[in-house]
Amino acid sequence: MMTGMMETLYTEDDYREALKRFLEICDAPEDTEEADELEKLMYLLEEYEKENCS
């Protein structure tokens, strides 16, 4: 699990760190802490992309 999980991705470095972690756990089994983390990462990545990749 990411230490000190971010609530928002502020920089491209934050985005890259979150994406790297997403790729590490993308096959996490349902009903695990990693699956919960994966869901949060998907949300954070999506929000960052909406604001910065238009």
Domain of residue 41: give its range.
Answer: 12-52
The pLDDT value given to residue 4: 60
Report how many domains make up the chain.
1
47 in any annotated domain: yes
5 in any annotated domain: no
33 in any annotated domain: yes
3 in any annotated domain: no
What's the predicted TM-score (pTM) here?
0.84
Alpha helices per DSSP H over 1-54: 12-25, 33-52
| Nearest-angstrom CA–CA distance, 1 and 43 | 16
39 in any annotated domain: yes
34 in any annotated domain: yes
Q: Which amino acid is at 41?
A: L
The residue ranges of the chain whose pLDDT is under 70 are 1-5
20 in any annotated domain: yes
| Nearest-angstrom CA–CA distance, 39 and 44 | 9
6 in any annotated domain: no
